[in-house]
Amino acid sequence: MAEMTTASPSSSAPGDIFATTHWSVVVSAGQRHTPQSDHALEELCRTYWFPLYAYVRRRGHSKEDAEDLTQTFFVRFLAKNYLEGLNAERG
C-alpha cells in the first residue's frame, strides 16, 4: 500500500475534525492535468486522509482495514472525478 501523508494538527482549528476547505482549492483540484490542479488535489488528499481514516477507525475497523478503506475511498473518488464541475454557488 502506498503511504499517504496525513494532515498536521495545525491544519484544523482546535476541536475540529476536518480542516476548513477553501473553494479555490476544490475548484482547482477538479481541473485535471495542470500543475495547479495536481497540487490542489494533493493538498485535499493530504488534508482529509487522516480525518477520514479516524472516522473509519471509530466505526470499529482495525488499523489495517481502516487504512485500506480510506485508500479505497480516495481511489474511487479520484477515478470518478467527483470534483469536476463543482462550484461554490451550487454548494
Model confidence over 47-59: pLDDT tens digits? 889 999 999 999 9
Residue 65 is placed in which grid cell?
A: 482495514
Residue 29, pLDDT score: 82
**Stretch 56-81: mean pLDDT:** 94
Residue 19 burial by CB count (10 A; 0-12/13-18/19+): exposed, middle or buried? buried
Residue 17, pLDDT score: 62
Q: Which residues of 21-56 are buried (b: 16+ CB within 10 A; e: fewer)?
A: eeeebbbbbbeeeeeebeebbebbbbbbbbbbbeeb
Q: Which residue type occupies 74?
A: F
Residue range 11-65, pLDDT digits in tens: 444 445 666 767 778 878 887 778 888 888 888 889 889 999 999 999 999 999 9
